[in-house]
Amino acid sequence: MNILITGCNGQLGNEMQLLEKSYPQHTYFNTDVAELDITNQQAIETFVREHQIDGIVNCAAYTAVDKAEDNEALCQKLNAEAPAFLAHAIGQRGGWIIQISTDYVFDGTNHTPYTEDDDTCPNSVYGKTKLVGEFNVQKLCEKSMIIRTAWLYSTFGNNFVKTMIRLGNEKPELGVIFDQIGTPTYARDLARVVMTAIEQGIVPGIYHFSNEGVISWYDFAKAIHRLAGINTCHVRPLHTAEYPTPAKRPHYSVLDKTKMKKTYGIEIPYWEESLKDCIDRL
């Protein structure tokens, strides 16, 4: 297959490029904004047609959650309109698309893990635009797969793990939110699932994926320091109210992965095992 990867310079896009070497039977077109402007519908239509693209993995998004509150137009363009352009172009060719989405489509008021059938209710610009992107992709491409994920980190780019390691080495004390609960996702594990779906065949629908287990940001930070051998920084728990942000975060964003596990017959690693792998690589 000829596969288009968008957002190849991001966390997931970089992990996808590493895995591509294990699947040499396909031809990959790794693009970011310099190679393909996904907000330009004509450019997408031309690219997909000229390179005879069979499938798209859309890793590109506007992910600056707080900045999104003041940049709604750009966020809408990247998270809602661009996926529509991609889905339309590949849908016309009878191809497939995997759209990466987010736990932010929920308001975080649940007390049990969110399933794909739970009602969505985003309360941030980022969450709202990502949800519109989901609708657009499903409407415009029959063979579409939405994968919602959460708390993404990797050895690439900026993320919570790298920030905690840097601050842990710089500061004697840190405050981290303890009353927001979820599950981290190692981008390498997510990339493996994407590749598994491509190999086994796209089963259209919405899926949830994160690592296994449940923790708070505070527990996550403590684990990062422990595994990175940082013992000179005191991490103290903060209430969300003590650390106000422009965008409202879901208090509870644990995702139920049953559908993904059953459909593709996969086992998902426990969050701490994946975190250790990432820190070892760092």
CA distance 25 to 232: 48
Name the one residue in this structure whose structure tokens are 């998902």.
Answer: 268
Helix axis angle, 125-140 to 82-92, nearest 10°: 10
Question: What are the φ/ψ torsions at residue 207 (nearest 5 degrees)?
Answer: -135, 155
Task: Locate 39 and state its tokens.
Answer: 């907000």
CA distance 93 to 113: 36
Q: Is-contact 103 157, C-beta < 8 A?
A: no
The residues near 244 (Cβ < 8 Å, ≥ 6 apart) are none
Taken in order 29, 33, 36, 41, the sign of the CA dihedral is positive
Considering 28, 104, 126, 218, which one is annotated as catalytic?
126
Amino acid of residue 178: F
CA–centroid distance for 203 within its chain? 19
**Quick one: the chain helix, strand, coil %, rounded to 5?**
45, 20, 40
Q: Is-contact 69 246, C-beta < 8 A?
A: yes
Q: Is 207 a catalytic residue?
A: no
Task: Locate 250 and state its tokens.
Answer: 């879901």
Question: What are the φ/ψ torsions at residue 150 (nearest 5 degrees)?
Answer: -155, 150
Task: Locate 235 and state its tokens.
Answer: 């991490």
**Maximum CA extent, the chain:** 57
Residue positions annotated with a catalytic role: 126
